[in-house]
Amino acid sequence: MNPFRRIRLFLGETTQELKKSVWPTLPELRDSTIVVLIATLLMGGFVALADFSVFSWVQLLTNAAR
């Protein structure tokens, strides 16, 4: 099959599928963004706390071994 025809077919099918999709409303988008930001902050806090805890334990064990 001609590569240009394949590209044209792909773009046509992509356009058809995008017309079927339902885009979020502004309030839905805002609410989803807030949820993602809160989840990111919580996960970042958890990772920072875990990193600090592991670092402290390793430092304590290293100092105890000296």
One DSSP character per residue, 22-59 reads: -PPPHHHHHHHHHHHHHHHHHHHHHHHHHHHHHHHHHH
pLDDT at 66 over 90: no
Query: Each residue of 2-61: pLDDT tens digit?
Result: 889 999 999 999 999 999 999 999 999 999 999 999 999 999 999 999 999 999 999 999
Give the N- to C-terminal CA distance of the chain in Å, as an integer.
71
CA gap 51, 47 in Å, rounded? 6
Can you give the residue ranges of every domain in the chain? 23-66
- Residue 32 CB partners (closer than 8 Å, separation 6+): 24
